[in-house]
Amino acid sequence: GSLKATGDNKYAGNITDPANDKTYSGKATLSGTSLKMSGCVLGGLICKSQTWHKL
């Protein structure tokens, strides 16, 4: 996938799921030591998000 900056600590573009090698429309937001990733299919009807924390 590839994300481009859309604002302060915000990114949007394509996100690839390594588990199934499929690419989805998505966005990411960086806040402190956490990164929230979200992606949608079917024009935004079905969405999923995950938050990753730096250890």
Q: What pLDDT does 42 receive?
A: 83
Give the global pTM.
Answer: 0.74
Using one digit for the tens of pLDDT, what is the confidence trace for 1-55? 789 999 999 999 998 888 999 888 899 999 999 999 998 888 878 888 999 999 8
> Could you give the CA distance from residue 44 to residue 17 in angstroms, rounded to a whole number?
17
Distance, in Å, from the CA atom of 33 to the CA atom of 6, rounded to the nearest integer, reads 19
- CB neighbourhood size of 4 (10 A): 8
Q: Which tokens belong to 22? A: 């499929």
Q: Give the β-pairing of 34-41 and 46-53.
A: antiparallel
Instruction: Give the chain's domain count.
Output: 1
Domain assignment of residue 16, given as a range? 2-53
Strands 46-53 and 22-31: unpaired
